[in-house]
Chains A and B, each alone.
Chain A
Amino acid sequence: MKNHRILPLVAVVVICAPLRVVASEVKVIANGSIKADMISTNEVKSVFLEEYGSLNGIHVEPVLEKDGPVHEAFLHEYLGGTDDDLQSYYRALVFSGRGSMPKQLDSDAEVLAYVARTRGAIGYVSSEASTEGVKTLVIVNAGNNSQRRLITRVEPEYPDTLKRLNIGGTVRLQLTIAPKGNVVSVQVLGGNPILGEAAVAAVKQWVYTASHARTVAEVSIPFDSHR
């Protein structure tokens, strides 16, 4: 009789025992076949929600961990919602004919091994995990450009020779801006290459407002020989 009273209580405790989640930092890794070195938070979300099937023309395959602090941290940082929400989302895709169930593995080691050997695979591991055999993607927050203000601007030096020859134009640049606000890398997207060198030298001294993540911005620098 006593056992019958205790059993329901134990059953409820077993059923309701919460999982403890310890947050930890994660890094996003990819197979070497993925050409991109950077990926935006929106792209990470779209890959793992199966809205993007490819990046830069390469088929991508998301790989997840089944559970644990790394998985919880990834959900929190990139996808929002709980693991139950995510599993329901994948199942809805599977059973309505709109997607497939991604690979879900037990540990960092398994994820690393799978990503290393599988073309197009993208996964995530603990920030302390070794990433031998895979590449670590830089995550940029492209959607937040509008929030970052330029607080220090250095004007480029117009090369005398080109100015005297009335050679001007607009140089387009892509800037990668660190969380602190300094410009860590610049890529010339278009314009006169000599003017481009001058523009790059200037924008590397620019300083933006701080942000919680790296951002990418496109800027256009005009060179007007009549001014």
Chain B
Amino acid sequence: MHRQRAGLLFVCAYLVCAYLCASGISMQAQEFRLLDRTVQVHGFVSQGFIYTNDNNWLTMNTSQGSAAFTDFGLNMSSQITDKFRIGAQVYDRNLGQLGQYHPSLDWAVADYRFKSWLGVRAGKVKTTLGLYNDTQDEDFLRTFALLPQSVYPIDIRDATIALLGADIYGTISFERHLGELSYTAYAGDRRDSIYSGYPYYFSSFGAQIKSFGGLQYGADLRWSTPLKGLLIGASRLNGNITGKGSVINPFNPGGGLVPYSEASKADWVNQFYGEYTVGRLRIDSEYRRYWRNQELFGGTSESFADVRGWYISGAYRICKRFQFGSYYSRYTITNVVAGALAVFYPPATDTNLAANHDYDKVITGRVDFNRFWNVKVEGHFMNGYGSGPYPNGFYVQVNPHGFQPNTNALVLKTSLNF
């Protein structure tokens, strides 16, 4: 009976797949006319499932298998004149304990392009940082179900995804086969959701973060080199971030909640990257260093966190509908606390310890049934759980019995876009 059910399910799944492939269901972007202008509508939805053999990962109960891994977005945009565009996107997600289906304005821009080498965007703009920061939510754009978490941690996406402000951008083409240079410079206010990773991490101390954000500014420069298919670049991001809330006083735990604040003394990211595409092969590599020096509890203590991550990945398209890829990702964190809180937080500087690193080996297969629908199967083989003062996927709240040094994860993900 069990085999019959499995067989029936398999045949049904096959028929659905065959129908979708054969029919080429119409899922084109929708557009309509408004005030003599064309307005385009696009959207996407993705659903994932993760199973881990030991530690629970990304705030989900993955050791039992979890499908609390959903996100979707919808946008509208219109070209008002030959140089002026407007548009906006709403985004929502649930990732275990994060997001919890609180929709947000993902981006909303007015974009004026004076020349190919100079344009201005204002509103809520996506932050250009490395190869994939501004498109990290749209996994249908790449082979992997999860970007390397050493550089693009999905749980603390809010830290870099967008800001309320403006950017200037442009592309300069050089003569004499020197390639093309693209630049972006931006400034604005970053505002993290209280349902994002850092407030959730802080809740493990009995703390409630009520606001987290501040000024963020930076720039990106990338060079499409004369060697066809080779792109290299660098990004820099600076922040002046303040967090406020309430916390259990560590010196008087029975005394109830007391006001808490933290503020940046130095908060910056350097990121270097390269991408090489030749034929059906793509190779990417990035390095990110995040330095975080903060005053805690109104300046009575100070925290120094040095977060470093890098990865190298390769992806190959076997045929139009099937591609596979693999990456190796390394994440390390060191942390020193000075001042009154130092007694509770001894220095964590040995990156050989599992608590201070996360090394991840990944292999992925992706099937595209048509232009709009894909399915991915991905395996992660992790050593370490990097649970320092800055979260990286492993949280005490969902691992109350402590962490195991190794985690193997199976990730299944499907997404639709139009």
Contacts and interface: CB of A to CB of B under 8 A. Distances in A.
A120 interface: yes
Given A16-B321, A51-B171, A92-B135, A46 B116 contact: yes
B317 A11 contact: no
Nearest to A17: B319
A130 interface: no
B326 to A, nearest CB: 19
Contact of A60 (B44, B82, B367): B82
A16 B82 contact: no
A91 B140 CA distance: 9
A7 B107 CA distance: 44
Interface residues on A, range: 35 or more
A146 B174 CA distance: 13
A28 B322 CA distance: 32
A122 to B, nearest CB: 13
B168 to A, nearest CB: 13
A8 to B, nearest CB: 9
Interface string B258-286: 00000000000000000001001000000
B27 interface: no
Interface string A156-197: 000000000000000000000000000000000000000000
Interface string A53-79: 110001110000000000000000000
A11 B319 contact: no
A28 B294 CA distance: 57
A51 B180 CA distance: 12
A99 to B, nearest CB: 8
A97 B126 contact: yes
A99 B321 CA distance: 26
B89 A97 contact: yes
B166 to A, nearest CB: 13
Interface residues of B, number: 55
Interface stretch (A80-88, A207-215, A217-225): A80-88
A16 B317 contact: no
B321 A15 contact: yes
A16 B318 contact: yes
Given A15-B321, A82-B280, A54 B83 contact: yes
Contact of B17 (A11, A92, A120): A11
A22 interface: no
B277 A85 contact: yes
A53 B40 contact: no
B36 interface: no
Given A92-B141, A94-B75, 14 more contacts: A4-B10, A11-B17, A16-B319, A16-B321, A51-B116, A53-B82, A54-B82, A60-B82, A84-B320, A95-B75, A96-B126, A96-B135, A97-B111, A100-B40
Closest 9 A/B residue pairs (Cβ): A59-B82, A54-B82, A16-B319, A97-B107, A15-B321, A96-B134, A53-B82, A95-B138, A97-B109
